[in-house]
Structure formats: structure tokens, C-alpha cells
Amino acid sequence: MKSHQILILGIFVLGMTMFTAKALPNCLQSLENGHIDWTTGLFTATGHASPEINAEGKAVGMPGSARACATRNLIAILKQIKISGDLTVGEYASTHDAILAGIEKVAQDARVCRQLYTSALDVDVWVEATFYGRFLQLVLPDHIRQIPKISELKQGSAEPVKKTLSAVVGAKPYTGLIVDARTLNFEPLLYPTIVSEQGREIYSSVFISREFAVQNGVCSYLCDMGQALASARTGSNPLVVKALRKTGDKTGAIVMSMADAKTLDRETERHIFLKECRVIVVVKPPV
């Protein structure tokens, strides 16, 4: 009886795990010969090589050739990534030789995550690399700069620190920003921007510190609101706002309502969590 109960429990847990995995897909962008996972910050490419005949007339698998093919495909994928609404990595690198060389180095150093031989000695290789660190340092715009720590006014300063209403009444401060953009046809970007209905910048290079943008990305992309609310990135009390639309210009910035913009403006902690890129954009799950 006890073993029967354990079996039922095991089946239930397995079923829930499978359901959760299905219900919470990563934000994948499928491309030829690979994909971009905007949730984990990983890009993956595949490469194929047919066997070659050696001097003895025997077919020999060519894993090195498959790896080289995967590297070329990964470079092609990296070039397709959008930095902003009007600029791809490839377009940016085409006018900066050092950037192009750095992108090629990222692809060459990618990790082999899977290798498969067929009975005919064909070889397929999968390689993956991450956005975070070197790649983002290469491609993020130069105007995203390091922001120094915000120092509090020294004791005895002539100007006292102004407290917001939330600070006065003891309300819990916001710890991050979650933007619900699921109703928009918004494609993930390395450097998304958010503006108010009046066009005022809410989240852009002015507020972002390069150190955090390079380490963690300008924002994280998720396809499930529950997953976003549970994310450590935006902390225990994130401000959740609804994206109204995208701007009609080439940047395609996310537009926030005037009411939400005012709520964010009143939050003194916003300078800290925006600087540290504690921002999540929730987008439509992949079809």
C-alpha cells in the first residue's frame, strides 16, 4: 500500500513538472541553424559535416569541420541580434572592425554542448555562448556608461533629503520594475528603452550603469507573469506596469502610461534599481 502511494505521488510530481515546463516556456527566437534564448541569455548554433574518405579509402567522421560550421553559423546568428529597434549587431559591427573581431572570438570560444554521430559517420555539433559579459561589453552603445554610487547627503548638509509619501507612511519601497508587454508585438532587444506617453525617457542609458548592463543585461525577458513576479531580479516588491504601445518611430520604444510614470517618479529607490538593471519585460510566449 505504501509503495503504491509513493508511485502515485511520483507520477503526480512528474506530471506537475512536465506541466510547469510546458506552461513556462523560455522566450526563444528560432533562427536558421540555431536559436536565441532571451530568458537565459544563451545563443545556440548547430553545425554539420559529412564524412571524408581517408587515404585508406575509409570514411572518417569530421567533428572539427562540424565545429567550424557551427562557429560560422553562430557568427551569423550573433549578427542578426537586434541591439535596438533600428540597429542589428551585424550593422554595428560592419563599421567597427574591432567589434567584428570580438564577435568572431565569442563564437570561436563557444562551448560545445552536444555532439552527435550518425551510423554513416555524419557529425552534428551544437555550440552555445552567453550574452552576458564579453559580448554585451562589445555591442552595447557607448553612451551606456558607468554610474557612480549615489551618495547620501552628509550630516549637517544645508539641504535635507526629501522623503516621498511612501517613505513617510512607511510603505515598502519598490525593488524593481516589471513591464507587461504581452499585448504588444514586441521583439526582444539587447537595449530596449521605455518612455512616457509624452515621450520622456523612463528607462534608457541615462539611468543604466554599464557594469550591471554588461553583467546581467539591460533587462530580462520572460514569457510568464508568475515567473516574473517570482524572479529574484526584481526583488520582493516590484512595480508592475502595463505597456500601452510601441512608439511609431524606428526605435520602437515601449510606452508607459502617465499614471505609471508618475508612480515611478515618486519612488526614490528607482534610481538604484534602474541603475542596476532590475527590470523584466514580459513578452508573448513563442508560438
| Domain annotation covers residue 31 | yes
Q: How far is CA 212 from the centre of its chain?
A: 13
DSSP state string for 265-285: HT-TTHHHHHHTT-EEEE-PP
**What is the structure's pLDDT at 154?**
40
**What is the structure's pLDDT at 147?**
75
Beta-strand ranges (E) seen in 2-137 are 28-31, 34-37, 42-49, 52-53, 59-60, 82-84, 87-88, 111-117, 123-130
**What is the structure's pLDDT at 60?**
80
**pLDDT (tens digit, 9 = 90+) per residue, 6-27?**
444 444 444 444 433 344 678 9
| Domain annotation covers residue 121 | yes
**What is the structure's pLDDT at 149?**
65
**What is the structure's pLDDT at 8?**
43
Domain that holds residue 110: 26-139
SS3 assignment, position 129:
strand
**What is the structure's pLDDT at 167?**
42
Domain co-membership, 188 together with 237:
yes
How far is residue 178's CA from residue 219's CA, in Å, rounded to a whole number? 10
Domain co-membership, 91 together with 179:
no
Instruction: Reply yes or no on whether the pLDDT at 59 is more than 70.
Output: yes
Cell numbers that stand for 105 in this block: 572570438
8 A C-beta contact, residue 217 and residue 136: yes
Residue among 256, 221, 243 at smallest CA distance from 36: 221
Rounded to the nearest 10 degrees, the angle between the axes of helix 97-108 and helix 63-80 is 140
Domain co-membership, 218 together with 122:
no
**pLDDT (tens digit, 9 = 90+) per residue, 85-142?**
999 999 999 999 999 999 999 999 999 999 999 988 999 999 999 999 999 999 999 9
How far is residue 5's CA from residue 11's CA, in Å, rounded to a whole number? 10
**pLDDT (tens digit, 9 = 90+) per residue, 189-210?**
999 999 999 999 999 999 999 9
| Domain annotation covers residue 253 | yes
Domain co-membership, 128 together with 188:
no
- Domain final position from 122, 139, 156: 139
How far is residue 36's CA from residue 25's CA, in Å, rounded to a whole number? 13
Higher-pLDDT residue of 171, 107: 107
Domain co-membership, 135 together with 186:
no
**What is the structure's pLDDT at 285?**
86
Cβ atoms within 10 Å of 87's Cβ, excluding its own? 17
| Domain annotation covers residue 158 | no
Domain co-membership, 121 together with 175:
no
**What is the structure's pLDDT at 15?**
47
SS3 assignment, position 113:
strand
| Domain annotation covers residue 9 | no
- Over residues 256-281, mean pLDDT: 95
| Domain annotation covers residue 160 | no
- Domain final position from 139, 156, 185: 139
**What is the structure's pLDDT at 24?**
60
Domain co-membership, 119 together with 180:
no
Domain co-membership, 124 together with 209:
no
- Over residues 71-92, mean pLDDT: 96
- Domain final position from 88, 120, 139: 139
**Domains in the chain: how many in total?**
2
Classify strands 254-256 and 194-196 as parallel, antiparallel or unpaired: parallel
| Domain annotation covers residue 216 | yes
Residue entry with cell 538593471: 277
Q: How confident is the model at residue 150 (pLDDT cuts 50, 70, 90)?
A: low
Domain co-membership, 119 together with 57:
yes
Instruction: Reply yes or no on whether the pLDDT at 160 is more than 70.
Output: no
DSSP state string for 45-73: EEEEE--EE-TTS-EE--HHHHHHHHHHH
Percent of the chain predicted with pLDDT > 90: 71
| Domain annotation covers residue 17 | no
Instruction: Reply yes or no on whether the pLDDT at 161 is more than 50.
Output: no
Instruction: Reply yes or no on whether the pLDDT at 283 is more than 90.
Output: yes
**pLDDT (tens digit, 9 = 90+) per residue, 219-264?**
999 999 999 999 999 999 999 999 999 998 888 999 999 999 999 9
8 A C-beta contact, residue 165 and residue 265: no
Domain co-membership, 175 together with 267:
yes
